[in-house]
Amino acid sequence: MIKANISRARKFLTDQEYIHAHSLAKKGLNDLRQRTGLGSERLGWRDLLEKPNLDLLAQLTQLGKKIHDSVDVFIVCGIGGSYLGAKAVIDALKPPFTPNGPEILFAGHHMSGAYLKDLLLYLKTSKADGSRKSVVLNVISKSGNTLETALSFRVLRKFIHEEFDDAVERIICTTSEQDGVLNEVIEKEGYQKFIIPSDVGGRFSVLTSVGLLPIAVAGISIEELFEGAVSNYKLLEENADVVLEYAALRNALHSKGITIDIFASFEPELLSFGRWIQQLLGESEGKDGKGIFPAVAGFSTDLHSLGQFIQDGTRSLLETFLVVDQVDTQLSVPSGFDFGDGLEYLEGDSFHSINSKAELGTIEAHCEGQVPIVTIHMPELTAKSIGALIYFYELLTSIFVYSLGINPFNQPGVEDYKKAMYRLLGN
Ligand code: PA5
């Protein structure tokens, strides 16, 4: 179960401000549930939890396991909502140094030729035993014509076709049912295809095959992830107070001049989850001159870069801590050696307890620096909790954005850079 403690931020608001924002959030929730809000044709991310497609889940689990057990490198080629969700879940749950299944690499999320060149070189380099790396490529693009993804796919597709006789089996495409040039390529080549439902927007698509296949390939249980999301969906359908209060708080603080929300965590595994939230909120709320800019920080690392500003700079910040209540790593500060480093007072303490005290100390200091602080708690770092957190933020995003009077499910502003870029590229 996901909990939110808003008390440290609530005190910046009068009762009247909060109550008014709460009534807007309630209306937002009602519009969402009754499908009467803006963009209500894009609520498939809720429907897929209301009526889970168990056959698809089983198919993705099976394929994921097959790839996990047989491949050296799995490349996810996508941008924005087509890769951030998978990366968030994989980084949160896959131990970084324990070999388990294929290396998961990302491409198609920028246009750096240097990166692609180096990636190709790496893919072509033999393994330690002299054999060739086995590579599978998953290209993910709902529109099927995003330039960053399409260009990288062109390079990687050529590589796969040149290197592997069974190239067609090594390329998996995740896209919309029929739109976009990628569908023409799939038809021409006969690649395996998974469909992104038309009523699920990119940034809400992590619990479709967009996120689920890469996550399953990483050896993470997508059944548990999904179960966590479904149980939180059911819980919040019964009682959404926790999300309503959080949405109301954000809205009221925004009305009082808060323009930046820093999503911070003392667990480095959650840095990519922060980036997923950043896109989910950023693309949903940043319209019509409104919205709180979502920033991401990893603590305590970024206390040594952003800490000064947060403590003492322009007071327009909200800070949201993603907290894992129980961490099961029991590494303690070692003793039994003449260290001479003055850290004897910490000998035997677990790193988790030290990290938690750093977190508490930071919260205390930033409160004194007049920063409104929200803490979001998940009981532990498991697939189930992450699934629950995904739905929590999807719901928060839609209710909060509705309460601003904005459509959460479109992104008209993203088109502007594309238009300018295509003009310069001569298209
Ligand atoms: O949330 C969104 O819709 C976007 O971030 C898209 O996911 C992103 O632009 C990639 O688009 P596509 O999947 O069509 O390549």
DSSP per-residue codes, 126-156: PPTTSPPPPEEEEEEESSS--HHHHHHHHHH
pLDDT given at position 105 = 98
Q: What are the structural domains, with CATH classification, of the chain? A: 3-37+225-335+342-409 (3.40.50.10490), 45-220 (3.40.50.10490)
410: Cβ below 6 Å to ligand 1? Answer: no
**Which residues are 193's β-sheet partners?**
173
Integer Cα distance of 89 and 86 in angstroms: 5
Q: What phi, psi does 110 have (nearest 5°)? A: -165, -175
Helix extents (H) in 286-350: 307-312
Integer Cα distance of 344 and 306 in angstroms: 29
Q: What is the pTM of this model?
A: 0.97
pLDDT given at position 99 = 85
How close is the Cα of 48 to the center of ligand 1, in Å? 19
Residues 6+ apart with CB under 8 A from 372: 8, 9, 12, 253, 258, 317, 318, 319
42: Cβ below 6 Å to ligand 1? Answer: no
How many Cα atoms are found within 13 Å in the side-chain-facing hemisphere of 202?
22
Tens-digit pLDDT string for the chain (427 aa): 899 999 999 999 999 999 999 999 999 999 999 999 999 999 999 999 999 999 999 999 999 999 999 999 999 999 999 999 999 999 999 998 988 899 999 999 999 999 999 999 999 999 999 999 999 999 999 999 999 999 999 999 999 999 999 999 999 999 999 989 999 999 999 999 999 999 999 999 999 999 999 999 999 999 999 999 999 999 999 999 999 999 999 999 999 999 999 999 999 999 999 999 999 999 999 999 999 999 999 999 999 999 999 999 999 999 999 999 988 777 999 999 999 999 999 999 999 999 999 999 999 999 999 999 999 999 999 999 999 999 999 999 999 999 999 999 999 998 889 889 999 999 8
The pick from 42, 139, 146 for probing ligand 1's pocket by mutation, whose C-beta has the most ligand atoms within 8 angstroms, reads 146
205: Cβ below 6 Å to ligand 1? Answer: no
Q: Residue 265 is which amino acid?
A: S
How close is the Cα of 294 to the center of ligand 1, in Å? 18
Helix extents (H) in 256-306: 271-285
81: Cβ below 6 Å to ligand 1? Answer: yes
How close is the Cα of 382 to the center of ligand 1, in Å? 27
**249 neighbors 20 (Cβ within 8 angstroms):** no
Which residue lies with its CA nearest to atom 13 of ligand 1?
Answer: 141
| 415's tokens | 């088109």
**400 neighbors 244 (Cβ within 8 angstroms):** no
Strand boundaries in 100-259, DSSP class E: 103-107, 135-141, 171-175, 192-195
